[in-house]
Structure 1
Amino acid sequence: MTAVAPPSAVSVLVAHGAMMRGAADGSVGRADAPAQGTEGLYIADTRLLSRWILEINDSTFWDVGSVREPGRRETALSPAARRNQTHDLFVLRTQELDAGGLTDTLRIRNLGREPITARLVLRAGTDFADQFTVRTDGRIFDLSAAASSMDVHDEGSLAFDYSHTFRGRTFEAGVRLAASIPPTVRREPADGRFVGAALSWDLALAVGETQALTVSAVASGGQARPTVPAAVVRSGEGLTALARQSLKDLDSLLMPCPVKPELTIPAAGLPWFLTLFGRDSLLASMLTREECPQLLGDVLRALAATQGTADDPARVEQPGKIVHEVRVSELAQLGAVPYGRYYGTVDSTPLFLMAMGQVEDPALLRDLEKPARAAVEWILGDGGLKDTGFVRSTPDPAGLLHQGWKDSFDAVAGADGREPVGAIALAEVQGYTWRGLRECARLAAEQWDDQAWAGTLRGLADELKLRFRDAFWMENQNFPALAVDGEGQQVDALASNAGHLLWAGILDADDARAVASRLLRDDFFTGWGIRTLAEGQHFYHPMSYHNGSVWPHDTMLAAEGMAAYGLTDQARTVAEGIREAAAHFGNSLPELFGGFSRADFPVPVTYHHAGSPQAWAAAAGLAAVRLTSSSERAD
């Protein structure tokens, strides 16, 4: 049996689409290896630094204090020492990220009684790795034609550059290193794609003197440096700890849209989803409609700009379809992965229409009329509503097999494990579609002066609601099926997707009460949140990704739906569970956590590979505060 070591602690700094993964002292990688796992400075899914190691007088420095906020970390460093051993150097290190790269400022102070010379060595290097090559998901890519280089300029600045031509396309990237005090530069041995150098300085410090040194690493070359967006999320006075941290998490994920940098969007989350995701960005924006009303407009503009225009099976693109994810990294630009613009999602398009219902800006709504009409045409045509009665998806063998929010390979199966056959109609997608058609009908009547189209859309929504109840409702369970497959058979697992139906509003009042009551039973509700799959189902496992874990956004969509139906006690119970769970995660809700109940373990169980921060998890924290606060006011 092969032992698997637990994942080591990684400190993450993120802002405006840039991410730095490394040690708590601000270092990345090791001096004796080209790269260390997934550590690095990433911009646009490209690792621009895989080594960033500071040495002072050949000493190891300990992190003895730190303060962190979105995009900025200040760390106090002291030389490693034995008990009762004193060293004279003290270092304050401030690292700041923006959309273009890293600024690293060192303030070195002499605490001793004699003058001292501090010798600083910064070992810097990069392998320009695409994030898909470091995620260890088993894929192998042909990178034999790639080449890295390093140039040293007279003023001591460095340029690391990279180029890769593949199937007639060329990707280029670069990073420029510059220092406020010119360094001495020594090249370090190259290793494959890796190039590196050691930058050194000798700083003479008088007694009590502090000297500052700033080194920057800025993206260049083929990677355009996007405009740094103005932060639109700000914490204020009187906020709860959860609300304040959730706002900080959201703030850290704001970034320029990869294809329209003048737009600011919330990236889906860390570590590997630091880009525009249709579903994630829409849900996060809708869940934060009160606290961050500015987000939704730019998200809708970004998705309209990337809306499908052609039939491209390799990307699952179809006219009118809303994109799943947008990537601008090496493998995406070269076509080695389909995710440059990937459309393998069945729910982003109805969610796009649903989100328009929250827009109040007449100018924006005028701009969205054409994209809305194209989205409706996709729903009716390629989406399957006109021909099959429901919006459906078919597996993409080169991408995602399942194309709802639960998109893992085993996320859609019956209570006994039976796999669905043919095109899958997911329950929540029909709810989104119903609500999206209703919102679009209202806008057609009130904003777009098309009463005839408004009537058509209302008719389509009404018919869908009737068909949905007939095809999905399981009388023996008094609960909706997870899905209906291509043969019309119910995928009869008891799943949290039903909570999204409450949020969309497609259920009548009696069915809504039944669903809310069922989601609060012990096989679903852990006390911290709602399991994605109820205990007793074939694929249930409390530490699975989608089959028994708790996802905060999934839980809070159900809670918001309960509140919308007037089920305030149930909504408050669920929201309080999420608030209490958040407290155990430092009020920074992760992507998901284990589905163990309070009786199983006294605190929520961490899912080791959960991303954090995540936009829709942070949005769920705000929703939980909003629901419990409104309940308190009502009391």
Structure 2
Amino acid sequence: MKTNLAPELLQMHDQPFLHELVTAVAAPATVLSTPDGQLRRDGAQGWLVADVRHLAELVVTVDGREPVALGHRQEGPAALRFVAAVRHLGDEITEPTVRVERLRHTAPDTLRETIALVNDSRREVTATVSVRLAADLAPVLAFRAGQPSPPVPPSATGVAKWVAGTRVTTATTDRAPDQVTLADDARLDWHLTVPSRSRVTWTVTLAAASASDDAVFTAPADRTVTTTLTSANADLTALFGTGTADLAHLLLADAAAEDDVFAAAGAPWYLTLFGRDSLWTARFALPFGTGLAMGTLRTLARRQGTKHDQETGEEPGKIAHEIRRVPSDVDLRFGLPPVYYGTIDATPLWISLTHDAWRWGADVSALLGPLRRALDWVLSHQGFLAYQDVLGRGLANQGWKDSPDSVQDRAGTIAEAPVALSEAQAYAHRAALDAAALLDAFGEPGADEARAWAARMNTRFRAAFWVRDEDGPFPALALDAQGAPVDTLASNMGHLLGSGLLTGEESALVAARLGGARLNSGFGLRTFDGTHPYFNPVGYHTGSVWPHDTAIAVDGLARAGHADVAAALATGVVRAGARFGHRLPELYGGWAEEDGPLLDYPSTCRPQAWSAASALVFVRAALGLTPDGGTLGVRPSPAFASWFPLTVDGIEVGGRRLRVTVDEAGAATVTG
């Protein structure tokens, strides 16, 4: 197979796995540990704040021995509880009678670990409980790429303190340790005597100074979740509740305008602004208020491209792909530029989110200037929207499937750039029509030009992208540098639904493919044809299932009149959610149930914003919600009957809050 790996991605084979770690998140902070609660200097474990690992180790021992893990529980997006047995203490019987219990809670700039030594034995116990703390202040881009991160020794100021430039971590406790030992790490010892049937509890709190005085993004003022759902499908109820809570804890605010809130893409790798991810997440959440959409739109508009720059991919009118504050000591061979525009689809997605927010009742008049500039960028493409990493230092693929091997034909040959993705043309087609609708509504010129461009795109697409295999016609994944179709059957075609690029007959052909066994794994859509010679069920974009990808297809299918396929796919993802404790990962394995276990992709982010928001899309499809400014159409679909009765409180249109209830027979009642 030909490969076009970008140089900075050559190190990603060393990227740490995440699938066996547990996570608590309160953006811009996240903490990852093994399920026993210990943070060890290994892989991605640690407490990260604003893309810097402030704590690399937090290990609890009793008399120098690690307790034996009994179990853990996620107590919310930001909290975890761990229970472990201390087997060398207590009654001399099989079951443990002395335990260590830990409650971990992360906030945007603090980590709190409450530790209890619990004695349920018949006699008093005496023990030394030690907490070992270590820091390396490693930037996320460095340890994600497997770059070594030497420890930063603590000073003797306070209990423990680490200083490196402007980044500071301190530790305090509400029960002073009996002994503090400082070396490359800090060890805090408590010498305890615990009576029978008693416990001793104390809290270690770590505070992280701001990662920078010029932080780009900060924690939002409010993470309150006011939307609720109950359904006859208990897994849907749990998935919706977990997803909305996780989404709230992934929110960040623009430091330049702290009322503007957006969703960070995911923990731990992408806990910052990502154009495509943040836009899709806000679009998924639109039935539940326009605030997230407007905050996302304004935050990205402030950073809209103004010049041509090959290094960053910036172009006038273009919407950014990724924005980070990268510390000065980070080797940029292990990451993209701090402000990077290498995305073919964020700009049309920005336009369509502006339009959709307007349809849900938001005032978008202040965005007409950025809208015009974004539309000019789209219309500047006289042929198809295509991308190429000219300097070879950015992303080789610049659609949502941005891994190096994601665009390959039926034989496995990787497409040569420039590449024109099918879904990028669909986004652009809809964006042109959406922009025209907005320009007409606000009495602005240019709508006819946008509609004429869309009509030409429609004709070009139909002539160039449709291919055939043994099962009939379907839209190709992409066009390569020679304009030849990349003829792999892939989930991308689901993004064409609702774009206006497909006729009713063509939508039916796409619906049949999406519902067929080659793409439908039973737990959602495979990214890649399951019969492809290079199908990999845990390949990043070559066979795995991404919940958001399925959600986009579900929304399009429902609106195109293919509710049965939509319901089958959505129900598959809900089933998968139950296997993952109702916290959907970024992606998971694309096996059919009879072929193997449902597995995480090893480096998957969890929580991931557009995965967390996927259940919101499923509910929209089930209820048949259609906004039009100040009004809302509600048409529950019989295909989702197994979810009824269903009640959603917190739908908003035109600034009005509504409750929608669907009874067992599928009849809807709207109040509010």
- 2:485 is the counterpart of 1:490: yes
| TM-aligned CA deviation for residue 619 of structure 1 | 2.0
Corresponding letter in the other structure for 2:50: A
Equivalent residue runs for 1:593-612 within 5 Å? 593-601=588-596, 604-612=598-606
Say whether the 8 Å CA contact 2:178–2:191 is kept in structure 1. no
Equivalent residue runs for 1:121-160 within 5 Å? 121-136=130-145, 148=152, 150-153=154-157, 156-160=158-162
Residue number in structure 2 paired with 1:214: 203
- 2:426 is the counterpart of 1:431: yes
Is the partner of 2:410 in helix, strand or coil? coil
Distance 1:621 1:277 in 2: 21
Distance 2:178 2:506 in 1: 72
Distance 1:64 1:123 in 2: 21
Residue number in structure 1 paired with 2:346: 348
Say whether the 8 Å CA contact 1:59–1:80 is kept in structure 2. no
Residue number in structure 2 paired with 1:173: 167
- 2:29 is the counterpart of 1:18: yes
Distance 2:339 2:332 in 1: 10
Distance 2:176 2:325 in 1: 33
Uncovered stretches (5+) of structure 1, i.e. residues with no partner: 30-34, 164-171, 191-195
Corresponding letter in the other structure for 2:526: R
- 2:297 is the counterpart of 1:300: yes
Relative to 1, partners in 2 of residues 1:329 and 1:115: Cα closer, same or farther, differing over 3 Å?
Answer: farther
Relative to 1, partners in 2 of residues 1:558 and 1:38: Cα closer, same or farther, differing over 3 Å?
Answer: same
Relative to 1, partners in 2 of residues 1:332 and 1:343: Cα closer, same or farther, differing over 3 Å?
Answer: farther
Residue number in structure 2 paired with 1:198: 187
| TM-aligned CA deviation for residue 400 of structure 1 | 0.9
Distance 2:100 2:171 in 1: 21
Distance 1:6 1:318 in 2: 35
- 2:230 is the counterpart of 1:230: no
Equivalent residue runs for 1:409-428 within 5 Å? 409-428=404-423
Equivalent residue runs for 1:38-437 within 5 Å? 38-64=44-70, 66-67=72-73, 68-81=75-88, 84=93, 90-108=99-117, 111=120, 119-136=128-145, 148=152, 150-153=154-157, 156-163=158-165, 172-183=166-177, 186-190=180-184, 196-202=185-191, 210-220=199-209, 222-224=211-213, 226-234=218-226, 236=228, 238-239=230-231, 240-257=237-254, 262-291=259-288, 293-330=290-327, 337-360=335-358, 364-381=363-380, 385-386=381-382, 389-395=383-389, 397-437=392-432
Distance 2:88 2:463 in 1: 72
Say whether the 8 Å CA contact 2:379–2:453 is kept in structure 1. no
Residue number in structure 2 paired with 1:565: 560
Distance 2:19 2:520 in 1: 31
Distance 2:417 2:42 in 1: 43
Identity %: 31
| TM-aligned CA deviation for residue 302 of structure 1 | 1.8
Equivalent in 601, 609, 623 of residue 615 of structure 1: 609
Residue number in structure 2 paired with 1:532: 527
Corresponding letter in the other structure for 2:163: D
Corresponding letter in the other structure for 1:286: R
| TM-aligned CA deviation for residue 391 of structure 1 | 1.4
Distance 2:34 2:599 in 1: 24
Residue number in structure 2 paired with 1:32: none
Corresponding letter in the other structure for 1:380: L
Is the partner of 2:296 in helix, strand or coil? helix
Distance 2:17 2:271 in 1: 24
- Mean Cα deviation higher: 257-266 or 422-431: 257-266
| TM-aligned CA deviation for residue 615 of structure 1 | 1.6
Distance 2:565 2:120 in 1: 60
Relative to 1, partners in 2 of residues 1:409 and 1:129: Cα closer, same or farther, differing over 3 Å?
Answer: same
Is the partner of 2:183 in helix, strand or coil? strand
Q: Can you list the C-alpha shifts for 1:182-232, whole angstroms capped at 9, x where unaligned?
A: 445644433xxxxx2112334565666654422211111653584454114
| TM-aligned CA deviation for residue 549 of structure 1 | 2.2
Relative to 1, partners in 2 of residues 1:489 and 1:48: Cα closer, same or farther, differing over 3 Å?
Answer: same
Between the two structures, name the one with larger relative contact order (CA 8 Å, sep ≥ 6): 2
Distance 2:535 2:42 in 1: 35
Tell me how large the CA RMSD over aligned residues is: 3.1
Distance 2:314 2:17 in 1: 39
Corresponding letter in the other structure for 2:280: L
| TM-aligned CA deviation for residue 516 of structure 1 | 0.9
Distance 1:113 1:84 in 2: 11
Relative to 1, partners in 2 of residues 1:256 and 1:75: Cα closer, same or farther, differing over 3 Å?
Answer: farther
Corresponding letter in the other structure for 1:73: L
| TM-aligned CA deviation for residue 390 of structure 1 | 1.6
Distance 1:87 1:467 in 2: 71
Distance 1:520 1:249 in 2: 29
Say whether the 8 Å CA contact 2:379–2:450 is kept in structure 1. no
Q: Can you list the C-alpha shifts for 1:421-458, whole angstroms capped at 9, x where unaligned?
A: 442211100111111111111112223x31x2222222
| TM-aligned CA deviation for residue 241 of structure 1 | 2.3
